Structure 1
Amino acid sequence: MHRSASRLTRVLACAAVPVILTVAGCSSDSGKDSGTGSGNGKQPEAASSAKPSSKATAALEKAVYSTLPEPCKAVAAKTIETIVPKAKDANGTAAKSNDLSSRATCTWNGLDEAGLKGSQYRWLSISLIRYDSLASVGTGSKRAEDEYTKQVEKAKVVEGAENVKPEAAGGIGDQATSVTFTTKKDGDFANTTVIARTHNVVITLDYNGTAYEGAGAPDHAKLLQDAIAATKETVASVEAANQQKQPEQQPSPSNS
């Protein structure tokens, strides 16, 4: 009787081994999936959900330019003296802005009277808009590209414009277009608009002129030439303004 009981105990113990091994096998598989060997059945699901967060999100491209030049100093005083002779205010008139580092405008006008030879009138406006990179709307350069396109289309549909002629203007920033036209409001005006983009900044330069009291009409080609030259100066001023600001943004060297 004693032997039968002992033998029965051994049989039952052996019979239980496959069940234990099966359970252990499941735990081992779970450990491999989770990478922890803890045997927690929920672990693989947690690891799977963590995978997307482990991928670093690409940083938004930083805007190249962080400020604008003073609009009334975007072109040299000699340039103003040449293209707006006898300017009423050689220093220009700046438009009000809540943020001059993002939006700025300056205008000049002058009447050069030459007695019996008549008078020449010139008007110049330089406007600058700068865009920052924002995750919700895109990079500064892309936003500037969109604004550039809008300004070009706007220049083509000026009220009262005649003989509208848009042309690509090479060698100015990243892209540029000139639009020439004539208007007959308060005289026969020759008009030139140059729109240029340099990275995340858009420049719109308007330049026009007319003659009074028998003076010869403005040379359209000369007006365009002067407008393009002034736009190139403005592009250079944007770059210079940001080069001057660069040292302030750099961290001070470590003493260690």
Structure 2
Amino acid sequence: MHRSAPRLTRILACAAVVPALLVTAACSSDDSDASGSKGAGTPSSAAAAGSASPSPSAKPSPSVAPAKFAKLPDACKTLGEKTVDELVPEAKKKGGTPGRSTDLGARAACSWNGLDDKGVKGSDYRWIDVSLLRFESEQAIGSAEQRAQRKYTDKVAETQTLEGAKKVAAAPAEGVGNEATTITYDLTKTDADFRYAVVVARTENVVVTVSYNGTGYAGAKAPSSEDMVEGAVKAAKEAVAAVAKANS
């Protein structure tokens, strides 16, 4: 009996060690299985994600804004009769002379000229013309307004580089369309000194250009730059208003 006690103690001790080893082995087995399942699952998850992701495609181009003004007014009706009488006394044609155009919806022009004979005091000659250019939106080129802005900038620069022009000056024309510039210069032709005032204006997608010039014959004085600018700005405001009215 005394010999069996130590033996029983050893058996119980061994029995206590075995569950501990089994728990350790079980924990080790869970860890390895979990990491293994993660390792095995990662490629399949990536593959699934890869197969689920859509193939890259080209982004659609943003559409350009539509043109605000869809048509142009009759260029010869952009100026009122009183304005024509004031700026071009004794105009040959009160209704104006239309310019040639193959597309009046995109390009139109009209001019007036007259010689006011004052007898021994000489004669005053005046000329005014109104030009209208309308632009449409085009995906490859830009919106109608952007195209008009570019044309406006080019026209202002072009007017200031006219061959033979002297005393060229440019200044903003306030209150005319979205933006406007007045260019003044002198030009000698037909043995007379002509004084010019040109207003280039943009109203949305339309570029309006008004050129007003005059001179004096047989002793009459040439008009002042101030008078020419005042007349050109007045005409430009009427032309801009006519564009808006035609599209209202």
TM-score, normalised to structure 1's length? 0.76
Alignment of 1:34-113 (within 5 A): 43-44=51-52, 47-49=54-56, 57-113=61-117
Q: CA deviation at 1:148?
A: 0.5
CA RMSD of aligned residues (A): 2.2
Alignment of 1:13-28 (within 5 A): none
Counterpart Cα distance in 1 of 2:152 and 2:94: 28
CA contact (8 A) 1:196 1:203 kept: yes
Q: Secondary structure at the match of 1:49?
A: coil
Counterpart Cα distance in 1 of 2:99 and 2:193: 27
Q: Secondary structure at the match of 1:184?
A: strand
CA contact (8 A) 2:63 2:139 kept: no
Alignment of 1:159-238 (within 5 A): 159-186=163-190, 187-238=192-243
The superposition leaves residues 135-173 of structure 1 with CA deviations (integer Å, 9 ceiling, x where unpaired) of 010011111111011111111111211111111111111
CA contact (8 A) 1:127 1:204 kept: yes
Aligned residue for 1:119? Answer: 123
Rg (Cα) greater in structure:
2
Gaps (5+ residues) in structure 1? 1-20, 34-40, 244-256
The aligned length equals 210
Structure 1 runs (4+) greater than 6 angstroms displaced: none
Counterpart Cα distance in 2 of 1:58 and 1:139: 11
Q: CA deviation at 1:118?
A: 1.1
TM-score, normalised to structure 2's length? 0.78
CA contact (8 A) 1:30 1:44 kept: no
Q: Percent identity?
A: 41
Q: CA deviation at 1:30?
A: 8.1
Q: What letter is aligned with 2:135?
A: Y
Q: Secondary structure at the match of 1:158?
A: coil
